[in-house]
Structure 1
Amino acid sequence: MKQKRWRCTVCGEIFEGDAPPAPCPVCGAGADAFVAEAAPAAQRWKCTVCGEIFEGDAPPAPCPVCGAGADAFVAEAAPAAQRWKCTVCGEIFEGDAPPAPCPVCGAGADAFVAEKEAPGGVLGGSDSRFVIVGGGGAGLAAAKAIREVDRTAKVTLVCGEGVIPYNRPGLSRLVAEGAGFESVALEPYDWYGGQQIELVCDARVERIDPQRREALLSDGRALPYTALLLAAGANAFCPVKAGPGAPPVRVLRSFADAAALLEDVRPGVSAVVVGGGILGLEAAMALHRRGAKVRVVELAQRILSIQADAFVSGRIEQALRALGMEVDTGVSVSAVEADGAHLSDGRVLPAEVVLVSAGIRSELGLAQALGLALGRGICVDASMRTSLPGIYAAGDCAEFEGRVAGLWGAALEMGRTAGRAMCGHEAAYRPPVPATAFEAPGISLFAVGSVNGEGLQTVERRDDEAGVYRKLALRNGRLVGVLMLGRPAGGAAAIAAVERGASLQDALGLLAQQAEKA
């Protein structure tokens, strides 16, 4: 009987046995850091005489069907799995059906569309070297895109956080559930070996030499490159500072941030969340689920001022209060002192931990040293090229047409575009329509595009008894936003309608469909 395989989610090593080793012999992680690992897929062999396919470590000899010898067999690739794209976060999954809900953003099955097959690969001949600086969503998307069109180039992914790429939008869920790193890892550790993608988790890129085309690591190594991608992401913006003896002021941008927050939060702790946007509310819900007494402080006059209109913001605030949370709007945290969080209106809120969700700032250190053209981010063209030959940028560190998107879906699309362009393929980035899905007790929100602003024509449908609200927003007769509260359905259709700028007549048809599904 074959022994079970166990993978350590911290260091990635695989062990065999009836139970995982504890602690891990490599990195010392505990037994709860291990997950059961599936056995590697069996090799498939095709007989070129009769066409039959067999599985095994080696081809059967002779062929059980036609009697051909072992030299008549060729290795056969596994059949391509169906690909499903989440239209909210942009992630692509494989399987007979889309995952529901989306493991990254939580969107429902109706937010998925069947994705066309991956571009065909170049089976040999390329000796290119690609270095990707940053192991976030954009970096991993670029590595996957490279492998879809070039099977033999050397691909090195330098993960600056010391861990393999993970689902950053899933950090709030990790905090809520108290889960381990394996719950947010985007791919298992051994997947990278199977794709021949070299991971560097124990060093950072400290300097780039564009003349020699080398990335110099903190451990002294030099990585030569044909093309290099800057995908170092962004840092959390934290304008709130802790005074002497004050409770900790945290952000939730990295896995390390999530681990630190879990150390601070226990049932009954008073937690102040600074920021009432979508990420702030997701973090607030996570702390609430951990048993904390949560208070949200938002500078704007209402929460979710970007994703929702005034009516929906009010309803969501009511739902949060019904859960036992407090909400303060039109006010900011001016300081965090030993006695609590000081507000701009003079009040002092009890606080044993303060969590700030106030946006991001692009990571520009390497780009500044290179002298790249910069705005708020690294300026790129539609192929993600920077102002220096051979250097590309993607994700939260990149600025396209004067804007840093700061969205997971945009980072993925940028990464895919950069990966193909680095291989010499035609690729042009098209910014995705922003979409948000937010689920919590008493709250079911789906928002696409823009539903606020001057000069919008709006159509609303509301059923207070059913708790359902639908809103269409049009500019110059074309659909620019859809807002759904209460049993949202047809997310992919709503996104597609905004992308094509549906007419009023078509938009009204979409509204009718939503009402029927609700």
Structure 2
Amino acid sequence: MRLVVVGNGMAGARLVSEVRARDRHVKITVFGAEAWQPYNRVLLSNVVAGTSRPDQVRLLGPRWHAEHNVTAHLGVEVTAIDRDARTVVAADGTREPYDVLVLATGSEPVIPAIPGVERATAFRTLDDCDRIREAAASARSAVVIGGGLLGIEAARGLAGRGVPVTLLHVRDHLMERQLDAEAGLILRETLGSLGVAIRTGVTVTAVRERHVELAGEELVDADLVVVACGVRPVVGLARDAGLEVERGVVVDDELRTDDPSIFAVGECAQHAGRVYGLVAPAWEQASVLADLLTGADKGARYRGSRLVTRLKAKSVELAAMGETHLTDEEAEIVRFSHRHKGTYRKLVIRDGRLVGAILLGETSAVGTLTQLFDRGGPLPGDRTGLLFPGVGAAATADNPTRMPDSARVCQCNNVTKGQIRACWESGARDVEAVAAATRATTGCGGCRDAVEGIVGWLCEQEGVSA
């Protein structure tokens, strides 16, 4: 089988590695529009902040493709699909035939149509990070436009470099899709204490040479402007080829498009009317498709994902999942708020089951809540134990003795405590060794403390050094 993958980002790279892990003989060719080896976009705020180097966020090593007999065209964009000839055409003139084609073209940043926006820099790629870091070196002030995940991560990264930064958001509170108003307020105060000035409910009308203009002609100083107003699926290639496209490339439970030879995964794919913008669903899709393409599991199907959003910004702990905006009239709401400490915890329960949660300021309970959210199982009667690990009966990642082996520790890579234990018993005595064997910690990085806790606990039990 000749497999061609268009896209070398988090979805495409994972698919290629999953296929090769299952079958050494599939002929694999991958095209990546970026010249970089595949890297983890989730950790780009660390690159902006200077706490990680570009080589530290790579998903695959520099020689991985050659060592695994994969032909990689890096920095080469595919410009057309000839479905009749089953061939892709690249910008450098390459024509690559395929038996199976997988589109993993990802997303592109949404750039608002305002005067002067070309002076701003998007926050999406490693090249964007290079431009931001270069400008930040001499910037006396910076503005980030957009108060969603990307905007907050960009602003926190710039503040970490010592640049005075103002985040501007058109909505009334930050991350309005995931958070309620109170959580948004506490997040705002937390970021403020870390050096990020925040203005909500404001509209940017223009980007000038050294400032940003707001509605009402107010000016905000800015030597550097970063745009983080969301992303949209890259679907032009699929649309030009005549594939069914709505918001994303429409796929079924096998991740197959309306052309039986063409599949799509990741942020460009639309499954059951939904486009996912997070890494965990992309990796779940890659695993299912690798099973199908190699025959490892011909019954594998993708049934959709239940999302857990994690904010990846230094000194800010935040996790949100499910239906967080239901009211007391619509569901049972259990909440705890301590603004002075920057803590907010909320459970949304319907018919005795967890349908949503917000954890801000301290997220040790996220492992337990994620399992309950995923499985839809009945909750313990003691709700307090869910909000405050160690007080009630909830098992948490901070207390490995009470975690069942089936507990999912790494949400991004679906790694359980039992898998970490087995890995440790096979000789992995530190987090890096566990990560190499299981991929735990290599997604959003939010599970690193939990993995460290489990490894440390196992070493302590056996009296060995971690």
TM-score strictly above 0.5: yes
Structure 1 segment 453-472 matched on structure 2, within 5 A = 453-454=326-327, 455-462=330-337, 468-472=343-347
1:178: how far off?
Answer: 6.7
Distance in 2, matches of 1:130 and 1:397, equals 18
Amino acid at match of 1:496: Q
Would you tell me which structure has more helix in proportion to its own residues?
Answer: 2
Structure 1 segment 357-506 matched on structure 2, within 5 A = 357-424=228-295, 425-438=298-311, 443-454=316-327, 455-462=330-337, 468-505=343-380
Larger CA deviation: 365-374 vs 140-149: 140-149
SS of equivalent residue, structure 1 residue 216:
strand
Amino acid at match of 1:133: V
1:465: how far off?
Answer: 7.3
1:405: how far off?
Answer: 0.9
Match of 2:65 in 1: 192
CA contact (8 A) 2:30 2:70 kept: yes
Relative to 1, partners in 2 of residues 1:328 and 1:378: Cα closer, same or farther, differing over 3 Å?
same
Structure 1 segment 270-289 matched on structure 2, within 5 A = 270-289=141-160
Distance in 2, matches of 1:488 and 1:223, equals 47
1:177: how far off?
Answer: 0.6
CA contact (8 A) 2:326 2:348 kept: no
1:206: how far off?
Answer: 1.9
**1:511 paired to 2:384:** no
* 1:323 corresponds to which of 194, 202, 219: 194
Larger CA deviation: 233-242 vs 360-369: 233-242
Q: Could you give the per-residue CA deviations for residues 190-232 of structure 1, whole angstroms, max 9, x where no partner exists? A: 1222222221114222222222211222222221211000101
CA contact (8 A) 1:280 1:357 kept: yes
Q: Could you give the per-residue CA deviations for residues 3-25 of structure 1, whole angstroms, max 9, x where no partner exists? A: xxxxxxxxxxxxxxxxxxxxxxx
Distance in 1, matches of 2:107 and 2:341, equals 41
1:371: how far off?
Answer: 0.5
TM-score under structure 1 length normalisation: 0.70
TM-score under structure 2 length normalisation: 0.78
Relative to 1, partners in 2 of residues 1:360 and 1:462: Cα closer, same or farther, differing over 3 Å?
closer
Distance in 1, matches of 2:52 and 2:254, equals 38
Distance in 1, matches of 2:314 and 2:243, equals 46
CA RMSD, 1 decimal? 2.3
**1:220 paired to 2:96:** no
Relative to 1, partners in 2 of residues 1:202 and 1:347: Cα closer, same or farther, differing over 3 Å?
closer
Amino acid at match of 1:169: V
**1:172 paired to 2:69:** no
Relative to 1, partners in 2 of residues 1:297 and 1:496: Cα closer, same or farther, differing over 3 Å?
same
Match of 1:290 in 2: 161
CA contact (8 A) 1:472 1:479 kept: yes
> How many residue pairs were aligned?
389
Relative to 1, partners in 2 of residues 1:506 and 1:420: Cα closer, same or farther, differing over 3 Å?
farther
Distance in 2, matches of 1:316 and 1:170, equals 20
1:167: how far off?
Answer: 0.6
CA contact (8 A) 1:295 1:326 kept: yes
Relative to 1, partners in 2 of residues 1:255 and 1:409: Cα closer, same or farther, differing over 3 Å?
same
SS of equivalent residue, structure 1 residue 417:
helix
**1:354 paired to 2:229:** no
Distance in 2, matches of 1:205 and 1:467, equals 47
CA contact (8 A) 1:144 1:416 kept: no
CA contact (8 A) 1:240 1:356 kept: no
Match of 1:130 in 2: 3
CA contact (8 A) 1:242 1:249 kept: no
1:434: how far off?
Answer: 1.7
Q: Could you give the per-residue CA deviations for residues 92-139 of structure 1, whole angstroms, max 9, x where no partner exists? A: xxxxxxxxxxxxxxxxxxxxxxxxxxxxxxxxxxxx110000001111
Bigger radius of gyration: 1
Larger CA deviation: 169-178 vs 481-490: 481-490
SS of equivalent residue, structure 2 residue 274:
coil
Match of 1:155 in 2: 28
**1:206 paired to 2:79:** yes
Structure 1 segment 50-61 matched on structure 2, within 5 A = none
1:463: how far off?
Answer: 5.4
Give % identity.
33
1:282: how far off?
Answer: 0.8
Relative to 1, partners in 2 of residues 1:263 and 1:512: Cα closer, same or farther, differing over 3 Å?
closer
* 2:204 corresponds to which of 333, 340, 365: 333
Distance in 1, matches of 2:114 and 2:363, equals 39
Amino acid at match of 2:122: V
Amino acid at match of 1:402: G
Amino acid at match of 1:485: L
Larger CA deviation: 143-152 vs 228-237: 143-152
Distance in 1, matches of 2:72 and 2:129, equals 23
Q: Could you give the per-residue CA deviations for residues 125-166 of structure 1, whole angstroms, max 9, x where no partner exists? A: xxx110000001111121122123322111111111122111
CA contact (8 A) 1:456 1:475 kept: yes
Amino acid at match of 1:154: K
1:327: how far off?
Answer: 1.0
CA contact (8 A) 1:176 1:290 kept: yes
Relative to 1, partners in 2 of residues 1:396 and 1:304: Cα closer, same or farther, differing over 3 Å?
same
Amino acid at match of 1:386: T
CA contact (8 A) 2:318 2:359 kept: yes
Match of 2:447 in 1: none
Amino acid at match of 1:479: L
